[in-house]
Amino acid sequence: MHPLTGSIKRYDWGSHDAIPAILGLPDDGRPLAEYWLGAHPNDPSLIDGAVRLDTAIEQHPRMVGDSARLEFEGRLPYLMKLLSAGRPLSLQAHPNRIDAQSGFDQENHNQIPMDAPERTFKDPWDKPELIVAITQFDALAGFRDPDTTAELFSQLGLNPASEQIFAPLRNRGGRAGLAEVFMNCLVTDDDRKAAVTDVVAAAINHVDDEDDLGEFARTAVLLDEHFPGDPSLLAALLLNRHTLQPGEGLYLQPGTLHSYLHGTGVEVMGNSDNVLRGGLTSKHIDPAALTLVVRFTTEPIPPMLPEQEMPGLWRYPTDERAFACWRLELKPGRMVELPGELSGRILLATQGEIGASQGLDGLVLKQGQAAFLEAGCQVQVSGDGQGFLVATGMDA
């Protein structure tokens, strides 16, 4: 067992106080968006306060377990984060394994530098992700049924020119209609800008409605506050809005368009840097890659509720190969044996204290502290607190 120190990320969309409160840091008035725990090459965690985790894994590959060595080229296949959004993130999606490899190879062939603004695929890996709410957490994810979305726009009472932009949702429907409207909303021209003004002005009249139209209107107004006049706001309104309560998860498979709006949670994802932005951003947007990667389907994405494996231990049933995630709820006098011992694991205390023991060795994690548990290490935990455990999914 090794104490693990993560990396702080200060993106402008972060909140100011949530992560500092968990980590025991002062609120210095600057946004703190993410706290990374893992071996991502851009900013790996430190084990024992001194050694980069990716370097330690290179020197001692058995730390991560046989599954990571054989299927994931010796990499720790997941990244764990504390994430706190004070305002909406960009509209984005992540590729599956096949699309990631294809896009990565093509951009290498085209000799696009890794640090170029127009570079889309940074590595050949997929990036599924799971967000588990610590506070109430609001997100947009997955496309709403096209007929329902068309009806919501109509109920706002738009002018005919604006209505015409969304007509393919009714006329063509399905994947084709969604794709056409989505891509059209990424075009910045006077017609789209006028439609944004029309939609937001109409939405203001419905923000107090206690129905689906009210939620739709409040989403439009919220996005306009942060991205005024941005036509991609219209694309974001094609998505379902989700409100998670603490402990609930949202599992996003590759290709799922999404944006986190507000709240704090623990995020677990494939260890990849592939992000395809689809709006609400000043960064590069690659329409061709989006068309390839984004899944223009309308399957519902219900909140993911954890399944209890034993008293004090709940698993989020993602069935991912790259990661598995559990929530710990420990009470005094209760001992829990941690699963996933064939994998290198990360244990994070988010509330109270967690005592971890391996034979004669012991480690106490206070709120905000984490540890890396090597593969083959049988660990029991006790204490009075809450935490999260992540392992390679194939070993769960």
- As annotated, the active-site residues are 277
User: Could you tell me which of 26, 37, 20 has the C-alpha nearest to residue 86?
Assistant: 20
3-state secondary structure of 250: strand
String of DSSP letters for 78-101: EEEEEEEESSPPPEEE---HHHHH
* Residue that is written with structure tokens 């990320």 in the block: 9
Q: 391 is written with which tokens?
A: 């392992």
Query: What contacts 50, CB < 8 A, 6 or more positions away?
Result: none
Query: CA torsion sign, 353 to 358 to 363 to 368?
Result: negative
Q: Which run of H or E residues covers position 57?
A: helix 53-59
User: For residues 310 and 287, what is the distance between their CA atoms, to the nearest angstrom?
Assistant: 46
Q: 67 is written with which tokens?
A: 């599954």
320-349 CB burial, b ≥16 within 10 A, e <16: bbbbbbbbbbbeeeeebebbbbbbbbbbbb
Residues 223, 88: contact at Cβ < 8 Å? yes
* Residue that is written with structure tokens 């893992």 in the block: 38
